[in-house]
Amino acid sequence: MELSEKLTRLPVFCREFFIGIEPRTSVLTRLNYARDLEIFFDFLQKNIPGFEYLDVSELTLTDLEKIKAADIEYFLSYLNYYEYKGVKYSNGERAKARKLSAIRCLLKYFYNKDKLSKNVASKVGTPKLHEKEIIRLNDNEVNALLNIAESEEKFDSDRQNIYNLNTRDRDIAILSLFLGTGIRVSECVGLNVSDINLEERAFVVTRKGGNRATLYFSQDVAEALENYIKARDKKLFQAGITDEDALFLSLQNKRISVRAVQKLVKKYTAAVNPIKEVSPHKLRSTYGTALYRQTKDIYVVAEVLGHRDVNTTKKYYAAISEDIKRAASNAAIWRKDKDDK
């Protein structure tokens, strides 16, 4: 869903907020903020005295001034189990932290603009985040994933196989790009054909905050992209479309959405390993780990992945410790006596 559509359901002041943060945030971040703020305002309307008679779209900065730190803390507790638009949800610590970040950013923005007298969100502590296992694909799973994507018949339904035949070149190119460059899903869907240089095996990507960076890809990725671009151009020519620059397209010949890419990644990876819940970000983790194994240089990994803080990158070489653990399991110190007999 486009941000402009979400804004129709949010207070008028949110438009100014999203325009103000646009230069330093990605499209995906702004979309997530919009959804999180919509949930927060819905909570206020349903649970906080003084807000119950107001429609969310009618809230003003005067209403925003009434919010207390205790209201935000109540909201974080509410997120344990809540219902939104008829669907029940349960948010963990990371989802809570993201929603708190959206609220903090909103209140801080208007506080700095002298449109709020205080920023009560600054008094609310961030939910404690526990380290979670980094999910990534191993080498065998990567090979299996690409083999499945390249196969003409891989699903039980004939209709599904026909659909996938129509999207095969595109899907292979997307998966190859994730696994071969580690780009973010928002960066992937934002690519244009004019950003790709097959001869130099390079492309220009728009990073978080709007910065542009040049990345490079392997011959395998180049072949996947070249095959897809040829199929894409042929399809557009047959449809009489000559002015579409978006690289990855839907079946309607429009720029593919983040949600569509997430669904296609989930579809293929579930066929490889139904136990692992793999998202585009997990493919990014897979690439980051592989790059660290090859270079042993955390700063190279940080640069390629576009991390501003190298501490963010450290999780990508966590898998190295797994190798050490496996090696340690073969030591079998307590069986030395048996070998000596």
The catalytic residue positions are: 184, 208, 281, 284, 307, 316
CB atoms within 10 A of CB 278: 21
**177 near 146, Cβ under 8 Å?**
no
Dihedral of CA 306/311/315/320: which sign?
A: positive
Looking at residue 54, the DSSP 8-state letter turns out to be S
The half-sphere exposure of 157 on its side-chain side, counting CA atoms within 13 A, is 5
Closest to 208 (Cα-Cα) out of 23, 33, 20 = 23
Distance separating alpha carbons of residues 171 and 150, to the nearest angstrom = 9
Helices within 22-138 (DSSP H only): 27-47, 61-65, 69-78, 93-112
Give the angle 312-313-317 at the CA atoms, nearest 5°. Answer: 135
Neighbouring-strand partners of residue 197: 202
Dihedral of CA 150/156/161/167: which sign?
A: negative
Helices 27-47 and 69-78 pack at an angle, to 10 degrees, of 100
